[in-house]
């Protein structure tokens, strides 16, 4: 719906692809004492680009949180398999929590064809 409302130029640097890959997030939370309190959330990608991912995970993650994303069973579809990023937005949905993550650095490698085949097999 947002695409129908937005009439401005496309601002994405990389094409988004609908790819369902299993992920695990390691989220770093910092309290008032500057101590890190990491926790883990698991889920899958809903879509992915070289610069970020929209994910569905099992635990809430606050906007602005620093996280590391581990792509499980990604084989040669994605490199590297561990990526650092920051949560841009988060919302609760029926099946869990939808989290948009911007990567600190673009993925070095993303193969759409193989990812689509693997997603179809699951």
CB within 8 A of 7, min separation 6: which ones? none
Per-residue pLDDT of 68-83, as tens digits, reads: 999 887 777 777 788 9
* Domain containing residue 26: CATH number: 2.40.10.220
pLDDT category, 97, cuts 50, 70, 90? very high
Tally of domains in the chain: 1
5 within a domain of the structure (yes/no): no
28 within a domain of the structure (yes/no): yes
Asked whether residue 87 carries a pLDDT value surpassing 80, the answer given is: yes
Residue 22 in contact with residue 77, Cβ under 8 Å? no
* Chain mean pLDDT for the chain: 78
Q: What is the DSSP string of the chain?
A: -HHHH--S----SS--B----EEEEEEE-B-TTS-B--EEEEEEEEEE-SSEEEEEESS---TT-EEEEEETT-TTTEESSEEEEEEEEEEEETTEEEEEEEESS--SEE-HHHHHHHHHH-
Domain that holds residue 81: 12-121
pLDDT reported for residue 77: 74
27 within a domain of the structure (yes/no): yes
Q: What is the pTM of this model?
A: 0.74
Per-residue pLDDT of 2-40, as tens digits, reads: 444 445 454 545 567 788 889 898 888 655 555 567 889
3 within a domain of the structure (yes/no): no
101 within a domain of the structure (yes/no): yes
111 within a domain of the structure (yes/no): yes
66 within a domain of the structure (yes/no): yes
Tell me the C-alpha distance between 56 and 45, whole Å: 6
2 within a domain of the structure (yes/no): no
Residue 27 in contact with residue 65, Cβ under 8 Å? yes
pLDDT reported for residue 54: 95
Tell me the C-alpha distance between 60 and 44, whole Å: 14
Asked whether residue 50 carries a pLDDT value surpassing 60, the answer given is: yes
């Amino acid at each position: 719906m947002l695409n129908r409302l937005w009439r401005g130029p496309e601002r994405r640097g990389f094409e988004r692809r609908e790819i369902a890959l299993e992920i695990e997030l390691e989220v770093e939370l910092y309290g008032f004492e500057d101590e890190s309190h990491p926790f883990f959330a698991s889920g899958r990608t809903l879509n992915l680009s070289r610069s970020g991912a929209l994910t569905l995970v099992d635990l809430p993650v606050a906007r602005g949180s620093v996280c590391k994303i581990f792509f499980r069973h990604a084989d040669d579809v994605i490199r590297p398999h561990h990526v650092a990023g920051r949560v841009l937005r988060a919302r609760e949905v029926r099946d869990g929590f939808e989290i948009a993550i911007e990567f600190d650095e673009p993925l070095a490698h993303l193969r759409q064809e193989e990812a689509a085949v693997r997603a179809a097999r699951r």
